Amino acid sequence: MDHQDHVRLLRGGIPGPGGIWADMGSGSGAFTLALAECMGAQGEIYSVDKDGGALKRQQQAMHSQFPEVTVHYLTADFTRPLPLPPLDGIVLANSLHFLSQKDSTLQLLRSYLKPQGRLIVVEYNLDTGNMWVPHPFTYHTWEILARQNGFCHTEKLASRPSRFMGEIYSAVSRVS
């Protein structure tokens, strides 16, 4: 996938320019950069990952491509409480599939969101994993997980073929 693929997977879930969003498990920032493009210069992003080196690489790429976007880099585990302001949205791109038990993390993430806040997931569209992607979930499974954890109005945004695991999709769910 390239940058425009990442943007296409996110764009439909971001209501417009600006806002305060977080990218959880952001790694080297492929989806953080896409988020920056979708939000524009008015946006503010909290980029969270356990790998400080990946965040440094992400910071360099962000400064080069989107210097006008404000980004806060947090070297942290997104499954633990974080010092975040109320958020308009959260992106979880290829990060939730590392957790076998997702409920407590989803409830924690939901607590960061403003009323009508959005949670965008990007995930492989299958319910069986491998050693690199241990716990993926289909869109249908996501609808159930989202509802069980206090999200509503879940809708599939986009999908595209994946050479690794068939298909990757994006979906947005809102805080009720």
Question: 32 — phi, psi (to 5°)?
Answer: -65, -40
Tens of pLDDT, residues 18-48 = 999 999 999 999 999 999 999 999 999 999 9
pLDDT at residue 47 in the model: 98
Give the 3-state secondary structure of residue 20: strand
CA–CA separation, 124 and 148 (whole Å):
20
pLDDT at residue 41 in the model: 93
Predicted TM-score of the model (pTM):
0.94
Closest residue by Cα to residue 173 from 126, 107, 128:
107
How many domains, the chain? 1
Positions of the chain with pLDDT under 50: none
| CA 119 to chain centroid | 7
Sign of CA dihedral 42, 13, 54, 2: negative
| CA 122 to chain centroid | 7
Give the 3-state secondary structure of residue 96: helix
Range of the domain at 125: 3-175
Give the 3-state secondary structure of residue 18: coil
Average pLDDT value for the chain: 94
pLDDT at residue 99 in the model: 81
